[in-house]
Copies of this chain bind each other. A is one copy, B any other.
């Protein structure tokens, strides 16, 4: 499948697709071929890859929209608040990673097929 086709499916741009897929390729989850007949192919077992793997392959983008203003500060109040918040955010991020680490692509694949079946068996809306 080419970046062009993927981009249309995702309502975005082929270059954006390549940027994202680049991370997945570096981790061996997909493979790309240049030239005529080229494009992207899957190169992993769906039950061996989790959302966490993908999150990390995508360079683990910032998870929280909130956080410390600065790491180093002279201000004792800021220091105390930073410490309290960081502590919570660190733990919560660990929870997040753990949960994502339990969701395999195979599971999502199965969900997808179930929904697909529902749609064909009268579940049309």
Contact = CB atoms under 8 A, between A and B. Distances in A.
Contact of A100 (B63, B77, B88, B112): B88
The count of identical subunits is 2
A36 interface: no
Given A99-B91, A108-B84, A115 B65 contact: no
A113 to B, nearest CB: 9
Contact of A61 (B61, B66, B88): B66
Interface residues of A, number: 33
A76 interface: yes
21 contacts: A9-B75, A51-B85, A62-B66, A63-B64, A63-B66, A64-B64, A64-B65, A65-B65, A76-B116, A77-B112, A80-B108, A80-B112, A83-B111, A84-B103, A84-B108, A84-B111, A91-B95, A92-B92, A92-B95, A92-B99, A95-B95
